[in-house]
Structure 1
């Protein structure tokens, strides 16, 4: 790509920009956030380092709307034109339609995200398709904690993912507790309440969640589930008064759950998840698939 100077702006001319090339990651996207941001089926994007983008018009910098935990959408206050996205990372993504001259080959999209959201008849089948999942809209972001994608999923109506994540967090938090707290939380029938209240959530996540979204987390969760399934009778307690959680089999499960919570990024979203999970359940009741 050449180090060109690109110019563009909004419909009314209040917001103008200059972007010093080379441009990076030219692509199109049809995710729900992009569709709602623009009213279009798909958007064409190109990225620049923040320090190489200058707002030159009389309106100064564009207005922004916080659309997710990691990005804000940019638009003109006067005419409402969508201009791009300003990420928390040192990147500004500009919409290709805002460029004065968008015919430079260096700006041409080379991949498409969320192609499954196009109407069947209009699918851009001639482009190399990349069904980018919410955790990894670009390959460089795939190492972010899984929980950091909750608000993106919410904007894309991915309610089942949020529910599965919320239930997983409940299960892992229980497994991470000390023996005394576990005994209090689980109630009188440890074996029944343990599975119906907690471990079924862990099993559901491992079996139902799209596995490719969390390759670094999946083996740990599978090991946790296998460990829970292998619990001996003594680990549940031989009588209603016994605290089976003091059994040695529980120690590696606690350690594994604490590690999984950290990898998951659970602390980032924990306070929001009970209400958010219930909202998603209600949404599925109203608009079932």
Structure 2
């Protein structure tokens, strides 16, 4: 069982599914929508997802023809994206509360990638915050 929620906690979902593949999408739309270098997503069957609270707080934005992003109207967290009539929804993994371990991951739409981020370059990793000056 996968569980996810928004930043303020007012909207939450459960998905009776597993994450088999993660895509880190670098398209311009995802970068702008998330204010980040990329958005990490995973497809799960639409009929396996249910809202456990806050469904009335969800708002939708059609970011490209037929693609709708659903987000919390209070805190703005994007929780899922979906295409009209598609069998799957895309979970926005930044809002996933359940731990997942997935070997199969892809960086997609690198042709649109931010000029300041290259996933092939290793950078220092810090457990928390910046080091003391």
TM-score over 0.5 for the pair: yes
The Cα of 1:24 is off from its aligned counterpart by 4.4
**3-state SS of the aligned residue for 2:13?**
strand
The Cα of 1:53 is off from its aligned counterpart by 0.5
**3-state SS of the aligned residue for 1:51?**
helix
Q: Which residue of 2 aligns with 1:60?
A: 55
Q: Which residue of 1 aligns with 2:82?
A: 86
Alignment partners' CA distance in 2, 1:93 and 1:52: 12
CA contact (8 A) 1:28 1:109 kept: no
1:65/1:37 Cα in 2 relative to 1: closer, same or farther (>3 Å)? Answer: same
**3-state SS of the aligned residue for 2:55?**
coil
Tell me how many residue pairs correspond in the alignment.
118
The Cα of 1:23 is off from its aligned counterpart by 2.5
Is 1:96 the counterpart of 2:82 in the alignment?
no
**3-state SS of the aligned residue for 2:91?**
strand
Structure 1: which 5+ runs fail to align?
127-289
Q: Which residue of 1 aligns with 2:119?
A: 124
Q: CA RMSD in A?
A: 1.8
1:19/1:82 Cα in 2 relative to 1: closer, same or farther (>3 Å)? Answer: same
The Cα of 1:16 is off from its aligned counterpart by 0.1
TM-score by length of 2: 0.79
The Cα of 1:31 is off from its aligned counterpart by 0.3
Q: Which residue of 1 aligns with 2:110?
A: 115
**Greater strand share, 1 or 2?**
2
Alignment partners' CA distance in 1, 2:104 and 2:66: 23
User: Residue by residue, what CA displacement relative to the aligned partner does 1:105-164 show, whole Å, maximum 9, x if unpaired?
Assistant: 13x6611112231325x31117xxxxxxxxxxxxxxxxxxxxxxxxxxxxxxxxxxxxxx
Structure 2: which 5+ runs fail to align?
122-133
TM-score by length of 1: 0.38
The Cα of 1:41 is off from its aligned counterpart by 1.1
1:109/1:29 Cα in 2 relative to 1: closer, same or farther (>3 Å)? Answer: farther
Runs of 4+ in 1 over 2 A off after TM superposition: 22-25
Larger Rg, first or second structure (1 or 2): 1
